[in-house]
Amino acid sequence: MFCYDTPVRDMQFVLHELLDASTAFDALPGLEGWDEDTIRQTIEASGRFACRELLPLNAAGDREGCRVEGGGVKSPAGFAQAYRRFAEAGWPALGGDPRYGGQGAPAVVYSAVSEVFYGCNPGWTMFPGTARGAYQCLLAHGSPEQKDAYLPRIVSGEWTATMCLTEPHCGSDLGLLRTRAQPAGDGSYRITGAKMFISGGDHDMAPNIVHLVLARLPDAPAGVGGISLFVVPKFLPEGDAGLAATPNGMAAMAVEHKMGLRGSATCAMNFDASVGWLVGRPNEGLRNMFVMINASRLGVGVQALGMGQAAYCSALGYARERLQMRAAGGAKRPDLPADPIIEHADVRRMLLTQKAYVEAARMLIYWLSLALDMQAGAADAGQRDAAAERLALLTPVVKGFLSEKGAVVADIAIQVHGGHGYVSDNGVEQIVRDLRAAQLYEGTTAVQARDLIVRKILNDGGRQFDQLIAEIRTFAETAQAEDGMGIFGTALARCCDDIQRLTGEIGQAARHEADAVGAAGCDFLRALGHLVCAWLFAQAARVALRRIAQGSSDPFYASKLATAHFYFARLLPEARCHAEVARTGLASLSGLPQELLFV
């Protein structure tokens, strides 16, 4: 039974009791009006819109999918109408810059609202979600003329936008990119090449699509240092508000037939002398695009969170109603022919695992989204730099760790439903299919792990990583002396020791064998992900303990404290297992020659 309940209470807890976001906003120019009530009303409104407009289209959009028809891509029935109502209600403008018609909402509020939309209909939400990344890239690197031409229309939702990186022969290795950009002599360029896996590459939901395309200039050097970025609209603007009658030398050649996210138009695109304009400086396209890539990686975490919440709601609702056998300790519901399966210990374990991972993801994403706000608006340069560095360090963890744990949460939903989860009638198998892509696009877990270890830790001399570990260790030492917090502090200190020691071991091994990072990387990322999530849960437990000590009878705090204990007892021990696996190094991987894999 697929369902979604907007977790307003937990969202408010994380935003205001754990992170004290409203106080932070008071010190950030332009965000002063975003108080607790305003944020709650915004989240509740997003839940009403998403449950009314998007949730009913989710299963039908998955069944129908997108298709090439009449020279363009047609979205599932109802998608275009829902998008028009979405734009009319002002949702695309929520996180936009007021200079271009946006509402100027904090990044953390935008993340919270996006979580709701992804939970109700991830395929549909991919369209405005992709446009968000393109908006951020143009805002950061577009010329004044480009910003004026495109940003107001993207912010209003009148136009959508995409990023076009991947080509049939290259995915994460963009140094192999072949798309060409030929100067036209009038300041514009003619873009020619093929792109694939382009989310929202073509559709019928908006009259124009703004593509950000990576391509090479004629004299560009080989590799990633020779890539430039271009803005290439589907239809060229004509006059004050008009659009050309024919597409700008581009077409969607096909829509990918995918495992999941079938409501999203994932297109193979062909650009044939399409008119485009350079964004930023020549040969700096990949660096400029990283604004979009990093935002998208955080967005993948939001997707996993939203769909994980839907999976948890669905499993919880089913477990309350499904009757099977009697509880081990005797009948819990003697008035019924059998007990609800929520009374069985292993079902409780599965539901608590879902709850813990969803709540951990929410804390991590909101914390880093608040860092985005600090990076953009803090008056002190040191605060801005610190926020940017923390974001850079932990973005790979958000993308890699949360996408994997989101898949775990979705898979548990099927397990709780049993055979009824494996068939399509209850909708939870769709969550598994939809969420699987989160581990692939914007860089696989292995890509994130290499980014984390090489670029963010080893190349930095471990400075940012050591600061993070020191911060967690200081918290742990303080917690060990507090009533009710000792178990959390002791476990965190032990985990800090283990992961810091492992970091040194990987660094040493990498000096002698470059493949050592690849052998250890994913398990290192998972161990660090567990440590950071456990730290956040310990902070949440401290808040809950204080509220209880102050006399609060709100069961929410008892629930939060119990979930924190569950995380530390049942999930955090995985960090030690991952550390031990990472320590095994290359021996078990290189001991078997490639040719023997076929024996």
What is the per-residue pLDDT for 498?
Answer: 98
What is the per-residue pLDDT for 596?
Answer: 82
pLDDT, tens digit, for every residue of 379-416?
999 999 999 999 999 999 999 999 999 999 999 999 99
Average pLDDT of span 119-146: 96
Task: Give the integer Cα–Cα distance in Å for 83 and 29.
Answer: 31
| Three-class DSSP labels, 468-511 | HHHHHHHHHHHHCCCCCCHHHHHHHHHHHHHHHHHHHHHHHHHH
Average model confidence (pLDDT) for the chain?
95
What is the per-residue pLDDT for 171?
Answer: 66
Give the confidence band of 266 by pLDDT, cuts at 50, 70, 90: very high
pTM over 0.85: yes
What is the per-residue pLDDT for 594?
Answer: 84
pLDDT, tens digit, for every residue of 541-578?
999 999 999 999 999 999 999 999 999 999 999 999 99
Q: Does residue 20 register a pLDDT over 80?
A: yes
What is the per-residue pLDDT for 294?
Answer: 80
Cβ(192)–Cβ(232) under 8 Å?
Answer: no
Query: DSSP assignment, residue 426?
Result: G
Give the confidence band of 228 by pLDDT, cuts at 50, 70, 90: very high
What is the per-residue pLDDT for 238?
Answer: 86
Work out the percent of the chain whose per-residue pLDDT is above 90: 90
Task: Give the integer Cα–Cα distance in Å for 434 and 58.
Answer: 11
Catalytic residue among 17, 167, 404, 442: 442
Cβ(449)–Cβ(522) under 8 Å?
Answer: yes
pLDDT, tens digit, for every residue of 36-82?
999 999 999 999 999 999 999 999 999 999 999 998 999 999 999 99
Q: Does residue 1 register a pLDDT over 80?
A: no
pLDDT, tens digit, for every residue of 449-492?
999 999 999 999 999 999 999 999 999 999 999 999 999 999 99
Tokens 């604004």 correspond to what residue? 291
Average pLDDT of span 180-186: 97
Whether 442 is catalytic: yes
pLDDT, tens digit, for every residue of 230-248?
999 999 988 776 898 899 9
Structure tokens given for 196: 């694939």
